[in-house]
Amino acid sequence: MKKKEDGCTRELSLKEQKRKELYAKQGRGSQFTSKDQRDNWIKKELKSLNKQIKDKGEQIERLSEDLKRDAKKKVELDKRIDECTGEQDSHRTNIDDHNKGFYELKKRKDTLQSERNDLCRKEMNLQQSLSALKEELSKADQTLRSMAGKPILNGRDSVRKVLQIFKNKGGHFESIADSYHGLVIENFECEQSIYTAVEVTAGNRLFHHIVDSDKVGTQILKEMNKQKLPGEVTFMPLNRLHVRSIDYPQTKDAIAMVTKLEYEDRYDKALRYIFGRTLICRNLEVATQLARTTGLDCVTLDGDQVSSKGSLTGGYFNKSRSRLEIQKTRSEKGEEIANQEQEMVKLRQH
């Protein structure tokens, strides 16, 4: 029904339009007095209509061109939008990557900072430990200096300075430095139980300097004098030392002192030169008997000595001031210092 009503409404509108046109035509018919007047009017109207048609055509062309340009521009803008969208996605990806990298770097920085703080703590602890060790070493050295005598320890220090001079010069002088092997006390070890016997036997010979030859000792002394360095020095040139082979008595009450010492074979002459003719005996009676029958010097663990010539030396020996004990402490502290200094170098390389 609605559809039929709409159809009738349209038809009515068309009829109404037609009616108006007929009235207009009828009105124009009565408007003109002649055919020519009517034709002129029609021509004039046609001309006006043609101009309107032309104007509309031109307007349509302009609008068409505008539409084409707008369509082209739309394509370009759509393309640019797609490009910008791609760039936006790329930038967003880059931002995400940079954020990820930033957090990874921050995490790495925090880790490195933690490691650095840990290394700083370790370095500080090492420095404190090194300072304490060096102080202990200095105290041990001062104690040893007071026990051995200032001239002897000054001589040791002077020899060390000369050796450094030779090493700096290089060449022949460096080979001289390499032919120096340190003090006797630095080149052997023994059980603590025989420290006293060893010390009373060697005396200050513990601080004699072992060298390969007398020429080496002479060169060192010359340089000491040249540099005007203080101290007393006694060299034991291995090429000049002569020791005899000794048949030691086979008894449970005594043992050759040199057999209780641990040292490198190349220092055998020096150690036998000092300790080779001494027996460690169970007691003073055994020492007296063996000194008389073997012609060797004898000593007890308490430090009582009986020489092969018959003299007897003894008395109280303060074991708390043992030079060998002090030297052992110096060696241990020196080794600890060297290890910790090496560890310090490794820490600072991180």
| Residue 218 within any structural domain of the chain | yes
Phi, psi of 308 (to 5 degrees): -65, -15
| Residue 116 within any structural domain of the chain | no
Percent of the chain whose predicted confidence (pLDDT) is above 90: 44
Helix (H) or strand (E) holding 62: helix 35-148
Spatial distance between the Cα atoms of 324 and 194, rounded to a whole number of angstroms: 10
Range of the domain at 252: 149-317
| Residue 179 within any structural domain of the chain | yes
| Residue 115 within any structural domain of the chain | no
- The total of other beta-carbon atoms located within 10 Å of residue 72's CB is 10
pLDDT tens readout for residues 83-123: 888 878 888 888 888 888 888 888 888 887 887 787 778 77
Task: Print pLDDT tens along the chain (350 aa).
Answer: 666 777 777 777 777 777 766 666 655 556 667 787 877 877 887 787 788 788 788 888 888 887 888 788 888 888 888 888 887 888 888 888 888 888 888 888 888 788 778 777 877 887 888 788 888 888 878 887 778 888 999 999 999 999 999 999 988 999 999 999 999 999 999 999 999 999 999 999 999 999 999 999 999 999 999 999 999 999 999 999 999 999 999 999 999 999 999 999 999 999 999 999 999 999 999 999 999 999 999 999 999 999 988 788 877 677 667 899 988 888 888 888 889 888 888 877 76
pLDDT tens readout for residues 127-182: 888 788 888 888 878 887 778 888 999 999 999 999 999 999 988 999 999 999 99
Q: Which two tokens stand for residue 322?
A: 């043992």
- Directed axis angle between helix 150-169 and helix 35-148, to 10°? 140
| Residue 87 within any structural domain of the chain | no
Number of domains in the chain: 1
| Residue 78 within any structural domain of the chain | no
What is the rounded average pLDDT for all residues in the chain?
A: 87
Q: pTM above the 0.85 mark? A: no
| Residue 8 within any structural domain of the chain | no
Question: What is the predicted pLDDT for the residue at 191?
Answer: 95
Spatial distance between the Cα atoms of 1 and 292, rounded to a whole number of angstroms: 159
In angstroms, how far is CA 253 from the centroid of its own chain?
57
Spatial distance between the Cα atoms of 135 and 330, rounded to a whole number of angstroms: 11
| Buried/exposed code over 295-315 (b: 16+ C-beta within 10 A; e: otherwise) | ebbbbbeebbbbbeeeeeeee
| Buried/exposed code over 124-142 (b: 16+ C-beta within 10 A; e: otherwise) | eeeeeebeebeebbeebbe
The CATH number of residue 281's host domain is 3.30.70.1620
| Residue 13 within any structural domain of the chain | no
